[in-house]
Amino acid sequence: MAGLIKLRHMPLMQRCVWNHLNVVSRNISTSKKNSDAAAVASNPKEDKNWVSYGFDYNNKEEDTNMHHASFFFSVTLCLVFGGFAWAYAPDTHLRDWAQREAFLELRRREQAGLPPIDPNYIDPKLINLPKDEEICNLETII
């Protein structure tokens, strides 16, 4: 979020080709601070010890507003409401449905007087098994 806001304030030329002259050259003034004292006296609202959050280096109010907006969107909307939506999302793997169907089937079998699990899941009369003479010479692998 902070990167997008920073990019908004950069001119198009700086976004396309980085201007190395502004980054490399750092001018240091060694003159007396008499001129700075006059500048501070002319603007008493300017905070001398203000440290930017990194959104805007020139305007304290816009920097603070962007900082608060960034944290509101990232923490409140993404983490709080995102976590709420994730926690109360519907069951996509249908685990609750399968368990509910199992309880309903158990209740139906108990009311009908049947065992909970039938040992003959498929009726043995419907299965065609080979006779003992046909399988006596074959090796049985279990």
pLDDT at 140: 76
Distances (CA, A) of 114 to 4, 37, 101, 123, 141: 67, 96, 17, 15, 34
pLDDT at 21: 44
Give φ, ψ of 20 to 5 degrees: -70, -20
pLDDT at 34: 62
Domain positions in the chain are 2-87, 95-135
Sequential pLDDT tens for the chain (142 residues) = 666 566 666 665 454 444 444 455 566 767 666 655 555 445 556 678 889 999 999 999 999 999 999 999 999 889 999 999 999 998 888 888 999 999 999 999 999 999 998 888 888 899 998 888 877 877 778 8
Neighbours of 98 (CB within 10 A): 10
- What is the C-alpha to C-alpha distance for residues 132 and 136, in angstroms, rounded to an integer? 6
pLDDT at 17: 47
With vertex at residue 111, the alpha carbon angle to CA 110 and CA 112, rounded to the nearest 5 degrees, is 90
